Structure 1
Amino acid sequence: MLGTYVNTLVIILGSILGLLIKNGLKEKYKTIVMNGVGLSVLFIGMSTTLNGILNGGEPILFIISIVIGGLIGEFIDIDLRLNRLGDSLQNRVGRGGEHNIAKGFVTASLIFCVGTMAILGSLESGLQGKHDMLYAKSVLDGVTSIILTSTLGIGVIFSSIAVLIYQGSITLLAKFIEPVLTVETIREISIIGGILIFSLGLNLLNIKKIKTANYLPAILIPPIYYLFI
């Protein structure tokens, strides 16, 4: 778990630094940074998806996964529940200037958790006791958390909890889930993750309001598919 602990701590420290920067930025600079973050998130999502497709991704599978996952997520209404959680956190932290903690939390959690480094790094930690990949991911996440917090606010810091639970679970259960997380499964999860991140970019740029969180169950479809197929 050492790699995950380091990753979690770095995100917290990066978020704190991002808050200090946020408080010192004028509104016009916050807008510029926000647009830059939105464009970058769009590019990350698009490149992640295309990379997976070019490496043998199955279009039918990720389309079906998005549709089924979206229906499940809409039925549960994950987006609404996360926003309620954000409102609860808002009341607890008592920061009047923060109006959408859930947005920062969801955006950062998806960026930090959905990707091959999170999965492979956690498996490597659990199976071999090596943490090099998660250490490298920690550096990337630390820089990203600074930038995200400077625009999205304190909600980003709570994504450290999602990282701790997600990567920690994979690490602790590595021996049991390794057979399920095949190369094909991880590839399809990455493609879906890329689509969700692209969706976040559209939200950040106010191009289209999409309940991205409601599509989270789509990530579970490929493991189930390959487990039975």
Structure 2
Amino acid sequence: MIGTFFNVSTILIGSLLGNYFKKSFADKYQEILMQAMGLAATCLGMQAVLQNLPKSKLPILFILSLAIGGVLGVKFDLATRFSNSVKKFSNSKSSEGLSTAILLYCMGTLSILGPVEAALHHNYTYLFTNGILDGITSIILASTFGLIIMLAALVLFFWQGSFYLIAFLLQSNVNPDFLHELSIVGGVLILASGLSILGIKKFETMNLLPSLLVSGILFFILHYIGTI
């Protein structure tokens, strides 16, 4: 968990720095930073999809996951619940920033493979690298959305901690195909978040979040019956 603690620390420090520098930024600078984050998220999402989709043994799985997960998200109105919860701590604009931060920090390949590598091979390279990248990202996000971004560090801790624990308990039985499928869905969500920030198309990304859980459940069902 050393790598995860480092990753969380860089996000917290980056958020503090970004919030501090926020006071020095005029509105025109905040606007260009928003555009930069939107473009970065869009590119990272596309990279995750294009990198992992060719490795998928059942490409239709991510489509089913998004469809079922989206319906569940709307059913439980996750986007509104999330937005209302964030409003208790900050303004309404911050909900988009926090959701983007959570997706960027948690859905990247390094954030998924990192804790698995740490648990199986005591290799912290992925997590240290991811921590540096997340620290830089948090500076930019916090300079626009404020200290609310720090909450994403808590989500990251439990996210990476879960992968670390599962990999540690299963050891060599971690299925790499599962990680590929999860990364595809995560990439689509990051892409949707980027497009929303850029104002190209408004997506209720939080309503699509259950797609990650659905992807995992469908994968293990199909794997159990021998389809993949």
TM (norm. structure 2) is 0.90
Displacement of 1:58 after TM fit? 3.3
SS of residue matched to 2:209: helix
Q: Which amino acid aligns with 2:148?
A: G
Q: Does 1:147 align with 2:140?
A: yes
SS of residue matched to 2:130: helix
Match among 190, 196, 207 for residue 203 of structure 1: 196
Residues 58 and 19 of structure 1: CA distance in aligned 2, closer, same or farther (over 3 Å): same
Residues 195 and 153 of structure 1: CA distance in aligned 2, closer, same or farther (over 3 Å): same
Name the counterpart of 2:159.
166
How far apart in 2 are the matches of 1:179 and 1:81? 38
Residues 170 and 36 of structure 1: CA distance in aligned 2, closer, same or farther (over 3 Å): same
Q: Once the two structures are superposed, what CA deviation does each residue of 1:128-150 show, in whole Å capped at 9, x if it has no partner?
A: 44322211110111111111212
Name the counterpart of 2:126.
133
Residues 66 and 25 of structure 1: CA distance in aligned 2, closer, same or farther (over 3 Å): same
Name the counterpart of 2:226.
none
Residues 209 and 46 of structure 1: CA distance in aligned 2, closer, same or farther (over 3 Å): same
How far apart in 2 are the matches of 1:154 and 1:69? 29
Q: Once the two structures are superposed, what CA deviation does each residue of 1:51-102 show, in whole Å capped at 9, x if it has no partner?
A: 2223346331111110001111111111112112101222xxxxxxx44222
Q: Once the two structures are superposed, what CA deviation does each residue of 1:196-223 show, in whole Å capped at 9, x if it has no partner?
A: 1111111101222211011111112232
Residues 21 and 58 of structure 1: CA distance in aligned 2, closer, same or farther (over 3 Å): farther
Displacement of 1:116 after TM fit? 2.2
Q: Which amino acid aligns with 1:214?
A: N
Number of matched pairs: 222
Contact 1:181 1:223 in 2 (8 A): no
Name the counterpart of 2:4.
4
Contact 1:89 1:101 in 2 (8 A): no
Unpaired runs of at least 5, structure 1? 91-97
Name the counterpart of 2:149.
156
Q: CA RMSD in A?
A: 1.8
Name the counterpart of 1:34.
34
Name the counterpart of 1:95.
none
Residues 225 and 30 of structure 1: CA distance in aligned 2, closer, same or farther (over 3 Å): same
Alignment of 1:19-168 (within 5 A): 19-56=19-56, 58-90=58-90, 98-168=91-161
Unpaired runs of at least 5, structure 2? 223-228
TM (norm. structure 1) is 0.89
Q: Which amino acid aligns with 2:66?
A: I
How far apart in 1 are the matches of 2:161 and 2:215? 21
Q: Once the two structures are superposed, what CA deviation does each residue of 1:5-54 show, in whole Å capped at 9, x if it has no partner?
A: 11111100001111122211111111112112111211111121112223
Residue range with higher mean Cα deviation, 44-53 or 127-136: 127-136
Q: What percent identity do the matched residue pairs reach?
A: 36
